[in-house]
């Protein structure tokens, strides 16, 4: 499987490259970065002391010339540009980018009619198993429990709450028959009044080099249930992304999510 990586000089890009180079059934054939990057022209494996013969470039035609798949964990605007090119040139995509607007998510769905792609805010297998646990917990704790989602990430993360936290909120809201846009509380300050029992609260922490911590608190009377996932390495995201690549081998079109990749949801190409 011939794979290109977008954002090749970033933290996630480097983890993806290192992981791909260790897979016997995969080949790194392209490495993309922004114009003006100091890494342009360098071998994509140089950061790990390896020579893979793939130069980092900013030109899509060059970087995707031999690619069957593009893995993209960058920014929404760049991802959508890559998506348009891939749709025209028969390249399947795995998208871990977060921070998409509702309109941009609709654009992803539209491209799913023309090509095969997986888009998920978190591709860790452990996180997606946690999503199933949250669905079960929400259904059983639907009365008498206040729900709060606490997430923490490194100081460089630009969107808040994290895409994973928002997905957790969506999973819980759906299990409860609520609309997260109506019940989500994303900020508290001053005299806020008593807590609305139907609300789902979010708290965001940014600092240091925290890779990603998420905890959902179900606070009842006399007890608390906490369901947590904590990442100690980005390799879990990289391994999940490569699992998505293998999944896409068998699909010519459709927008899929990680729950479908793992077999937790039907393949309705949603």
Q: Which residues are catalytic?
A: 153, 157
The Cα 164–Cα 183 span in angstroms is: 17
Nearest to 23 by CA among 50, 7, 2: 2
Backbone φ, ψ for residue 90 (5° rounding)? 70, 30
- Long-range (24+ apart) CB contacts under 8 A made by 230-237 are 231/124, 233/15, 234/11, 234/12, 234/15, 235/15, 235/19, 236/124, 236/125, 236/126, 236/127, 237/12, 237/15, 237/73, 237/96, 237/122, 237/123, 237/124
């Amino acid at each position: 499987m011939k794979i290109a990586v977008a954002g090749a000089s970033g933290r996630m890009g480097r983890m993806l490259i290192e992981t791909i180079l260790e897979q016997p059934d995969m080949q790194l054939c392209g490495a993309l970065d922004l114009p003006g990057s100091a890494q342009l022209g360098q071998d994509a494996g140089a950061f790990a002391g390896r020579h893979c013969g793939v130069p980092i470039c900013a030109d899509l035609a060059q970087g995707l010339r031999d690619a069957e798949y593009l893995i993209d964990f960058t920014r929404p605007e760049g991802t959508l540009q890559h998506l348009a090119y891939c749709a025209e040139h028969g390249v399947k995509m795995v998208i871990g980018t977060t921070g998409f607007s509702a309109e941009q998510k609709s654009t992803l769905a539209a491209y799913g009619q023309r090509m095969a792609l997986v888009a998920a805010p978190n591709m860790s297998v452990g996180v997606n198993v946690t999503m199933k646990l949250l669905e079960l917990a929400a259904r059983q704790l639907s009365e008498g429990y206040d729900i709060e989602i606490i997430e923490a990430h490194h100081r460089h993360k630009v969107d808040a709450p994290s895409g994973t936290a928002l997905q957790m909120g969506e999973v819980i809201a759906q299990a409860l028959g609520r609309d997260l846009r109506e019940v989500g509380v994303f900020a508290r300050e001053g005299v806020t009044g008593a807590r609305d029992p139907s609300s789902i609260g979010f708290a965001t922490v940014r600092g240091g080099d925290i890779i990603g911590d998420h905890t959902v608190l179900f606070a009842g009377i006399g007890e608390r249930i906490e369901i947590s996932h904590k990442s100690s390495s980005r390799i879990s995201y990289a391994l999940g992304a490569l699992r998505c690549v293998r999944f896409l081998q068998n699909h010519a079109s459709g927008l899929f999510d990680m729950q479908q990749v793992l077999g937790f949801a039907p393949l309705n190409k949603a």
